[in-house]
Amino acid sequence: MRSQEIKLYLSTLQIKYFMRKTILCTLVYACIIAGFSGCESELSDTVDQDQIYILYELFYNKNEDKTYARATFQFANALGTKLQLAGASEIRFNNDLLTFQPTLAYYEKEYAGQIGTGTFAWRDTNNKTLTNTISGMKSASLPSPMPSISKTSSTSIPWVGDALANGERMVVSLNSSLATDLQIFQTNNVGATSVILSANQVQVLPTNQDVTAIIRRYNDVTVTQKTQAGAGMFTHYQGADIVIRIDP
């Protein structure tokens, strides 16, 4: 996996869990410490199949014009040990088999273009199949031109796209070429049409240097078939990146 894809996945997990003050996959950070050598995982046939937590994601990246269908399996809950499917167990999206990605221990299938809906089907080691349909992906893009962003005051950034509905959140991130000063701004207010960039966070970023602005829209989707351990499912739309400069 390319380093930028790893960084994107890590950012997704941070937004999905840490910034919502719920759960964060601490195993991801273990991977960072280990230099992306691979997340530790166990085989799924070593645990009770009803104690497997599943996270489904349908992700479209406008920069690449690709859609990724992903599924992560963990023991007991979203903080549990990651699992690699064993025996007859498998995960499919629209009947296409997802393959295991050992770097971050999830399953993935790539598609050309945007796919906004589909069905995940997981068959466990007992040949029981759970199916869940995902939909509701909405687009969002940064305005062109972008509003002037200053270090001395907050800035409201409107997006091009629908206002937020229940279960959705919008995230704008800014990151310089140093790749060490990532700043994340978000809102999940129903009816919102803009994200506010707080001045104290923007102050971390350099002036007179290229800064990449990224917008991502998330939508939580109801899981209808799940194990006793539970499951989560969401769509994720990333608009086209824009390179900007921060005013002094």
pLDDT of residue 20: 37
In whole angstroms, give the CA distance from residue 58 to residue 48: 26
CB-based contact 89:45 (threshold 8 Å): yes
Predicted confidence (pLDDT) per residue in 91-133, tens digit: 999 999 999 999 999 999 999 999 999 999 999 999 999 999 9
DSSP 141: B
Q: What is the pLDDT of residue 39?
A: 67
Instruction: Give the pLDDT confidence of 127-179 residue by residue, as tens digits.
Output: 999 999 999 999 999 998 898 898 889 999 999 999 999 999 999 999 988 76
Distance separating alpha carbons of residues 152 and 107, to the nearest angstrom: 44
**Residue in the block written with tokens 């102050």:** 203
Structure letter (DSSP) for residue 16: I
Residue 71 has pLDDT above 80, yes or no: yes
**Where is average pLDDT lowest: 25-29, 72-76, 152-156?**
25-29
Q: Where are the beta strands (DSSP E) in 135-241?
A: 155-158, 168-176, 183-187, 194-197, 211-220, 231-238
- 171-222 residue pLDDT tens: 999 998 876 789 999 999 999 999 999 999 999 998 888 899 999 999 999 9
Integer Cα distance of 248 and 163 in angstroms: 31
Contact assessment for residue 121 and residue 77, using Cβ atoms and an 8 Å cutoff: no
Q: What pLDDT score was predicted for residue 116?
A: 93
Name every residue whose Cβ is closer than 8 Å to that of residue 189 and which is 6 or more positions away in sequence. Answer: 164
